């Protein structure tokens, strides 16, 4: 959520910068400012009215103490009018604030200056492209066939137990999952992140703070009896650790990492994109999150992106790094890098990580602030990224490293799997 003071003072800038995201904000900004003017006028009258009744109450108190009953009673007659007035003003004020908030959350985050214009994923900028795309033999298999052949993943069994999109990992397949999680966590800890184990179900306030609510309501599983949401990413509980906090500047950067299962309804997805591990309702992911001071958040974004590319490199997978164009960026992001690995048998790029700087967009919603050394309060910047999402990594690992009679495990992973070959 953008700050109201910013929208008020920089309305033109808000509108022009959101054009990069193909978002026409002119009407919305106009409405917001109109409500803001109304709100401030109401507050002015409300404050005046309350000041009067406070003053009156003080006088009445003094008169009682002096034993001047009748004079006090006389003053009392004046209070009911003020009370009615302040009550109705308060109602107006509440309605106005609510409306303003409702409108304000409809505004996407402003894209960073470096974000290229564009409509869709085809307009993303390739920043980096690395690794050799393997030349597979004629009878190379896609990962879902490999998973079956080597008895690593049972999709049908998962369907029986839960439904499509809930695979059952088995034997070396299950061990590979555990190995990847441990590997990613160890790498993050080595890079200075503190490991967390967050709750997998969160309340409404948390889902709202990171922006899943209200806009992505239908994408989360909702346990309605207890009004809890299954997390779509560990970003939600981890970032919410810092909700309603004022941090000292020496407590930053706060670097957190967490493994979690992630749950996504993926409403509306279908077709070959969802085949095998490409898109699931439940999957595993290690997330990295940073809370930083505003001045260096973009440097930190680069650093986080490098951490992610380092992981992919160690897994010996061909990848590319994209800077997302305005049209392909998420609502809350100011700048996003996507990492894609090449899945050789499917002959397509798969997104395995998305690293974003949200600047103050999340911190404003969740009132996350830093006190700078000179005593001033300012909103912190939040960033996060997948490091990494497992399923597509597994897909690429199986497909790219397949050989005639099995699958080779990259060296970096071998200490974690305990085997170097799946055959």
Closest approach of Cβ 138 to RNA, in Å?
50
Q: Which residues pair with 320 in a beta bridge?
A: 129, 340
Q: What is the DSSP letter of 331?
A: T
Q: Using the minimum distance from each CB to RNA, give the nearer residue, 228 or 398.
A: 228
Quick check: helix, strand or coil at residue 371? strand
The nearer residue to RNA, 178 or 367, going by C-beta atoms, is: 367
Is the four-CA dihedral 33, 368, 203, 91 of positive or negative sign?
negative
The smaller minimum CB distance to RNA, of residues 68 and 314, is found at 68
Task: Tell me how far, at minimum, the Cβ of 53 lies from RNA, in Å.
Answer: 6
Numbers of helices and strands, H then E, in the chain:
14, 19
The DSSP line for 400-411 is: HTEETTEEEPPG
Closer Cβ to RNA, 83 or 160, answer by number: 83
Nearest 5°: phi and psi at 124? Answer: -70, 150
Q: Kindly state the tokens that stand for 22.
A: 């193909």
The binding site for RNA (CB under 7 A) comprises 4-5, 40, 43-44, 46-48, 50-51, 53-58, 60-62, 64-65, 76, 79-80, 83, 246, 369, 371, 377
Nearest approach, Cβ of residue 222 and RNA (Å): 17
Strand ranges (DSSP E) for 188-264? 194-196, 201-202, 222-223, 228-230, 245-248, 254-263
On the question of a cis peptide bond just before residue 191, with omega within 30 degrees of 0, the verdict is no
Smallest distance from RNA to CB 113, Å: 19
Q: How many CB atoms lie within 10 A of CB 271?
A: 8
Which residue, 381 or 392, is less far from RNA as judged by CB? 381
Kindly state the smallest distance separating residue 283's Cβ from RNA, in Å. 23
- Cβ closer to RNA: 54 or 296? 54
Question: Is the Cβ–Cβ distance between 39 and 89 less than 8 Å?
Answer: no
Q: Which is nearer to RNA, 76 or 178 (CB)?
A: 76
Q: Of 199 and 410, which CB lies nearer to RNA in the complex structure?
A: 199
* Nearest distance in Å: CB 331, RNA: 22
Q: How far apart are CA 358 and CA 338, in angstroms?
A: 14
Q: How far is the CB of 243 from RNA (least distance, A)?
A: 14
Residue 14 beta carbon to RNA: minimum distance, rounded to whole angstroms: 16
* Helix ranges, 261-387 (H): 297-314, 361-366
> How many CB atoms sit inside 10 A of residue 96's CB?
19
């Amino acid at each position: 959520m953008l700050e109201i003071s910013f929208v008020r003072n920089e309305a033109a800038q808000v509108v022009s910068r959101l054009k990069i995201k193909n978002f026409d904000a002119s009407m919305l900004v106009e409405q917001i400012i109109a409500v803001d003017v109304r709100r401030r006028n109401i507050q002015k009258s409300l404050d005046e009215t309350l000041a009067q009744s406070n003053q009156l109450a003080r006088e009445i108190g003094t008169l009682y103490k002096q034993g001047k009953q009748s004079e006090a009673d006389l003053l009392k007659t004046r209070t009911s009018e003020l009370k009615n007035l302040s009550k109705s003003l308060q109602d107006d004020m509440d309605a106005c604030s609510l409306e303003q908030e409702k409108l304000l959350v409809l505004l996407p985050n402003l894209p960073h200056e470096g974000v290229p214009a564009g409509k869709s994923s085809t307009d993303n900028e390739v920043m980096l492209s690395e690794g050799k795309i393997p030349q597979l033999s004629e009878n190379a298999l896609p990962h879902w066939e490999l998973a079956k052949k080597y008895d690593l993943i049972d999709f049908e069994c998962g369907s029986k137990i839960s439904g499509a999109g809930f695979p059952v990992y088995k034997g070396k397949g299950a061990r590979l999952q555990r190995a990847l999680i441990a590997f990613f966590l160890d790498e993050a800890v080595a890079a200075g992140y503190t490991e967390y184990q967050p709750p997998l179900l969160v309340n409404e306030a948390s889902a709202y703070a990171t922006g899943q609510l209200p806009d992505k309501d239908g994408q989360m599983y909702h346990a309605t009896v207890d009004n809890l949401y299954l997390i779509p990413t560990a970003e939600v509980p981890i970032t919410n650790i810092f909700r309603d906090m004022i941090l000292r500047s020496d407590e930053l950067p706060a670097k957190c990492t967490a493994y979690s299962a992630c749950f996504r309804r993926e409403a509306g997805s279908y077709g070959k994109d969802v085949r095998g591990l490409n898109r699931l309702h439940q999957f595993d992911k290690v997330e990295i999150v940073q809370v930083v001071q505003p001045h260096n958040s973009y440097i930190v974004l680069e650093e986080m992106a490098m951490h992610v590319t380092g992981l992919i490199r160690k897994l010996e997978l061909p990848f590319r790094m994209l800077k997302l164009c305005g049209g392909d960026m998420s609502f809350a992001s100011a700048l996003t890098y996507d990492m894609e690995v090449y899945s050789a048998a499917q002959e397509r790029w798969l997104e395995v990580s998305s690293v974003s700087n949200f600047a103050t967009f999340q911190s404003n919603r969740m009132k996350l602030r830093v006190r700078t050394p000179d005593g001033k309060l300012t909103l912190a910047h939040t960033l996060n990224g997948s490091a990494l999402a497992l399923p597509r990594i597994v897909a690429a690992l199986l497909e790219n490293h397949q050989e005639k009679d099995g699958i080779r495990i990259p060296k970096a992973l071998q200490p974690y799997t305990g085997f170097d070959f799946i055959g």
